[in-house]
């Protein structure tokens, strides 16, 4: 996408965007002058939330009026404007409660996926002089990276291409990236190999490291299923339609890693992405198969469409072996999470009450919504197997997101703190700051959590 912000050195004329409510509309109209006020009244503009009007002047557009909430946080509501305003150059005007969040909303709302079609000119925003431009551009750039990866179809984004994307994103900033590919996975990562072996495109574990060895260890694990047919327990056509996004966890942890490195946080960062395609062939793993895991726990396959937790299990066990100070995994893991909380509110799980409370608070403050769900221990019995240590799916069909989190928890013992996020990584319809398509969810809240916990944010 093109840059949503005007260059910092630009001195070209800009159009003010004023935030208004029904209560402040009269004062705003008085400030604009009689001709403009008459035009706005004749147009029937009432300053409803999300409503806008382009106010003409003698030399073009005089201003834009935009309806905002009067008694609640304005959030990313300004993200609606880049898609509805005429191409041109704008600036934030009066009545805006949180100018940084408004600018962020604009930047996120300007996103379009134009890899396969030409990009039109768009609306650009001049940032306030005191805005932390570098930090804002890092946030928008990271979200753009995640969205671009999720939106890319699987024919152009297989396991090898995902590894290349990790290298392109992190190696220029000093990270070291390695891969364990194909049959080399068998000795240490048998579950990753089992899930990916049905595809012609070799599975792999991608590992990136950055930072000083003596700094606190922060490890990010992202589900990298580049396409999920469901395997032999094949999905329906509608269930398979969006499965290019099943690597959304990998895209999100890569974007979060980009934020951490870009801000120079004083952590020893490690990123692990099990990258596989869950395909159907004579080599594909089967229901009722039993596999060892890296941790030594044997797993009975109750359903081949619950493959994400399998690849995460080996990656989490690997991450846990060095007892990181903070271990975070992100995955488009369960439809049950969407049934419970919908597409916009990802659940997260943690054993650390203080960490969970802070993450919840940050998510609310940053308009990056998350909701804590319980690791309800009595439900572990649903994962029992008569022939292995654990089944990869729960009996009974209830509490699917919770039981998936409980399955993963069996592979995390030594980490000082662990957070699991069951994200959707997709906007089914456009909302302010959140265009339809691939999405980054939770990474802004997680970044602030890490910066608070370990210091170093600008």
Q: Which residues are catalytic?
A: 235, 309
How far, in Å, CA of 235 to CA of 245, rounded? 15
Angle, CA of 365, 367 and 371, to the nearest 5° = 85
How far, in Å, CA of 310 to CA of 320, rounded? 15
264 CB neighbour count, 10 Å cutoff: 12
Structure tokens at 169: 């994103």
Is 273 buried (19+), middle (13-18) or exposed (0-12) by CB count in 10 A? buried
Quote the DSSP letter at residue 440: -
How far, in Å, CA of 295 to CA of 39, rounded? 69
Quote the DSSP letter at residue 78: G
Query: Which residue, chain included where needed, has tokens 């990916």?
Result: 196
How far, in Å, CA of 310 to CA of 305, rounded? 10
Instruction: Compute φ and ψ for 254, nearest 5 degrees.
Output: -65, -45
- Cβ pair 219, 328 in contact under 8 A: yes
Structure tokens at 446: 């997680």
DSSP characters over 131-153: S-HHHHHHHHHHHHHHHHHHHS-
């Amino acid at each position: 996408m093109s840059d949503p912000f005007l260059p910092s050195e630009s001195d070209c004329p800009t159009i003010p965007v004023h935030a208004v409510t029904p209560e402040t509309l009269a004062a705003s109209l008085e400030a604009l002058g009689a001709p403009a006020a008459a035009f706005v009244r004749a147009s029937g503009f009432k300053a409803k939330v999300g409503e806008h009007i382009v106010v003409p002047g003698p030399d073009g557009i005089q201003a834009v009026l935009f309806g905002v909430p009067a008694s609640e946080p304005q959030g990313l509501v300004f993200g609606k404007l880049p898609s509805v305003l005429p191409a041109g150059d704008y600036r934030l005007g009066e009545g805006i409660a949180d100018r940084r969040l408004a600018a962020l909303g604009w930047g996120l709302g300007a996103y379009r996926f134009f890899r396969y079609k030409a990009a039109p000119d768009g609306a650009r925003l001049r940032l306030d002089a005191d805005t932390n431009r570098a930090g804002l551009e890092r946030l928008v750039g990271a979200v753009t990276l995640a969205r671009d990866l999720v939106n890319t179809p699987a024919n152009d984004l297989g396991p090898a291409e995902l590894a290349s994307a990790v290298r392109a994103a992190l190696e220029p900033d000093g990270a070291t990236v390695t891969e364990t590919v194909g049959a080399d996975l068998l000795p240490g990562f048998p579950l990753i190999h089992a899930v990916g072996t049905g595809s012609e495109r070799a599975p792999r574990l991608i590992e990136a490291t950055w930072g000083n060895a003596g700094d606190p260890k922060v490890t990010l694990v992202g589900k990298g299923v580049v396409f999920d047919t469901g395997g032999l327990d094949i999905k329906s056509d509608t269930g398979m339609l969006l499965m290019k996004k099943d690597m959304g966890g990998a895209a999100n942890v890569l974007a979060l890693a980009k934020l951490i490195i870009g801000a120079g946080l004083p952590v020893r960062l490690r990123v692990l992405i099990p990258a596989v395609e869950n395909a159907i062939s004579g080599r594909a793993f089967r229901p009722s198969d039993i596999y060892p895991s890296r941790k030594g726990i044997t797993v009975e396959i109750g359903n081949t469409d619950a493959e994400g937790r399998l690849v995460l299990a080996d990656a989490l066990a690997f991450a846990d072996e060095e007892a990181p100070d903070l271990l975070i995994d992100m995955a488009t893991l369960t439809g049950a999470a969407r049934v419970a909380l919908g597409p916009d509110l990802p659940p997260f799980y943690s054993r650390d009450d203080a960490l969970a409370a802070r993450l919840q608070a940050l998510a609310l403050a940053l308009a990056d919504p998350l909701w804590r769900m319980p690791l309800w221990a009595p439900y572990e019995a649903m994962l029992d197997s008569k022939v292995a240590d654990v089944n990869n799916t729960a009996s009974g069909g209830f509490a699917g997101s919770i039981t998936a989190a409980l399955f993963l928890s069996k592979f995390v013992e030594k980490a000082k703190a662990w957070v699991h996020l069951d994200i959707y990584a997709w906007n089914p319809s456009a909302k302010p700051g959140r265009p339809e398509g691939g999405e980054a969810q939770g990474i802004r809240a997680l970044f602030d959590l890490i910066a608070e916990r370990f210091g170093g944010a600008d």
